Amino acid sequence: MTTESVPASAKSVAAEAGRRRTFAVISHPDAGKSTLTEALALHARVISEAGAIHGKAGRKSTVSDWMEMEKARGISVSSTALQFNYTAPDGDDDAPANVINLVDTPGHSDFSEDTYRVLTAVDAAVMLIDAAKGLEPQTLKLFQVCRHRGIPVITVINKWDRPGRAPLELLDEINDRIGLTPTPLFWPVGVAGDFRGLLRRGIDGAATEYVRFTRTAGGAKIAPEELLDPSAAAEREGDAWQTAAEESELLSATGQDHDQELFLAGQTSPVIFASAMLNFGVHQILDTLVALAPPPGQRLGVDETARQTTDPFSAVVFKVQAGMDAAHRDRLAFMRIVSGTFERGMVVTHAQTGKPFTTKYAHTVVGRERSTVDTAFPGDIVGLVNATALAPGHTLYVDKKIEFPPIPSFAPEHFSVVRVDSASKYKQFRRAVDQLDSEGVVQVLRNDIRGDASPVLAAVGPMQFEVVVARMKAEFNVEPRLEPLGYALARRTDAESADELGRQRGVEVFTRSDGVLLALFSDKWRLQYIQKELPELTLEPLVATAD
């Protein structure tokens, strides 16, 4: 981030905000999300060589993965942020560079709650689709979150260098299954598995240019590009070019040309075909983000008051993470700057407590690498060190008070009791449970019957429990023992209903760490029976925005 002096005027803040594009990549596992993250960093020249190579068994860990579990499995299970400057290859060298804030997200559906938190911090999303598999369940769920939050989506059909489905078939699936009209900006030349280049579409669907790619060894370097006009492309590629040109014209005839207003309204999605592994089509993705994705805008508070980007400083915490640096054992609260200018060391107000908060230690973090942040602007992501009072959904501000809406929790579906057998480790065990709870790694439930020594962990997916075990061992030297509970779903209840629910077979009532009472049920039939027999009891569905 910039270390320049704080701008004095709202005009300067508006200019800084206008240069920024803050987005997340959403996808089903194995669609190539972490590989694309590195390819984008490579094209912005943040790194000189991509860290992903063919084959998971021999794959280097990507720059954004920092947990040993992530490196071993080749998936991302936590979110991270990457900021870099980017100037389009054909852009004005004298103009200020665009600032890209790429917030990487977990690559497994068990961590969809963490992904949802990330989506509260971005202005756009890249929906990454495997060319062979098309739309998959996790992609569909996350797209619904984007639709719910009004986040415009750019679609990237990845892995076009491998055998896959027909491009028109993939577009039809997007339109039919999620009701989003795909509007390709670039069209592939060559079928899936024979990726030669991209046809750049004009406003009427006519081919305006051919971008021909050349492979590099293992995709480690930026793929060279050759630009040809349509006549030269036809001579070079023959039938492959002719097919691409005809399909592009067909798209135009069916109204699948880009319209910026419809894109921002969430009705259409620009489409780009790419191979993140080979670095084909990557800078076209960056160019599209810069040209079409919205810059940071206003955000509404809980009282519907709008906080403009030029208003005094405000930010929302969307993630808390500890254990990223074993040498320091610190805790980072990641905040998205909503308005004004952030300056390291400034004293802000914590909206949830009304207390002052000093921002002495502020970092950007990529993997385990950190750098100090002196100044940041709307759209930027900043990690505050040892911010023990902060939790996801909290607001920081200066001057006029603002409090942004809290981030809802998902409905858990998996439940386990966690214990430690060694009495000498009990204090570390308690600290570990409290730490992971405050980060939102799992939800922690307690009741008088089980006591503090046997809290219940509630998770959206079972892999969250694996993260708990791995981090307790690595960070707290605790060997936890997990015992699955025979519950399948949870409902919010109240104190008046809790006593009667506690007397029912197949039901147990707990208090979550935020004070919410949850009733756990053995199965949906038990829940339906109690709702029928005792309709006066309070049993409310938890927010499950990803469904």
Contact 374, 3 (CB under 8 A): yes
CB 534 within 8 A of CB 510: no
Instruction: Determine the 3-state secondary structure of 109 from DSSP.
Output: helix
Residue holding tokens 């993250």? Answer: 37
Could you tell me the two tokens for 446?
């307690």
Whole-model pTM: value is 0.81
Is 58 annotated in a binding site? The answer is: no
CA distances from 263 to 181, 267, 469 (A): 9, 6, 43
Token representation of residue 195: 């990726």
- Give me the residues paired with residue 331 across strands: 322
pLDDT of amino acid 2: 46
- pLDDT in the model for residue 327: 55
Q: How many of the other CB atoms lie within 10 Å of CB of 165?
A: 16
**Length of the chain in residues, anyone?**
547
Closest CA to 335 of 46, 121, 153, 101: 121
Q: Which CATH superfamily is domain 299-397 in?
A: Translation factors (2.40.30.10)
Q: Write the pLDDT tens digit of every residue in 363-398.
A: 876 655 678 889 999 999 999 987 888 988 999 999
Q: 538 a known binding residue?
A: no
Distance CA 357, CA 363 (A): 16
Does 107 belong to an annotated binding site? yes
Backbone dihedral angles phi then psi of residue 429, each to the nearest 5 degrees = -60, -45
Query: Regarding beta strands 375-376 and 342-343, do their DSSP bridges make them parallel or antiparallel, or are they unpaired?
Result: antiparallel
> Residue 411's pLDDT is what?
82
| Helix, strand, coil percentages for the chain (3-state, nearest 5) | 30, 30, 45
d(CA 498, CA 345): 46
Cα first-last separation, the chain = 36
* pLDDT < 50 stretches in the chain: 2-8, 52-67, 69-79, 544-547
Portions of the chain given CATH number 3.40.50.300: 20-292
CA atoms 344, 396, 24, 57: torsion sign: positive
Q: Is 462 annotated as a binding residue?
A: no
Q: Which CATH class is domain 414-541?
A: alpha beta
Distances (CA, A) of 38 to 69, 102, 104, 201: 19, 11, 10, 27
State the span(s) of the chain assigned CATH 3.30.70.3280.
414-541
The Cα 30–Cα 34 span in angstroms is: 9
Q: Are 468 and 436 in contact (CB under 8 A)?
A: yes
Phi and psi at 290, nearest 5°, equal -65, -40
| Superfamily of structural domain 20-292 | P-loop containing nucleotide triphosphate hydrolases (3.40.50.300)
| 106 assigned ligand-binding residue | yes
Using CA atoms, how far apart are residues 438 and 322, in angstroms rounded to an integer?
Answer: 10
What is the model's pLDDT at position 80? 64
- For residue 498, CA distances in Å to 88, 489, 502, 516, 535 come to 60, 16, 6, 12, 14
Largest CA distance in the chain: 79
- The answer for residues whose C-beta is within 8 angstroms of residue 224's C-beta and 6 or more apart is 213, 214, 216
pLDDT in tens, 272-292: 999 999 999 999 999 999 999
Q: Which long-range contacts (CB under 8 A, 24 or more apart) does 54-58 make?
A: 54/218, 54/277
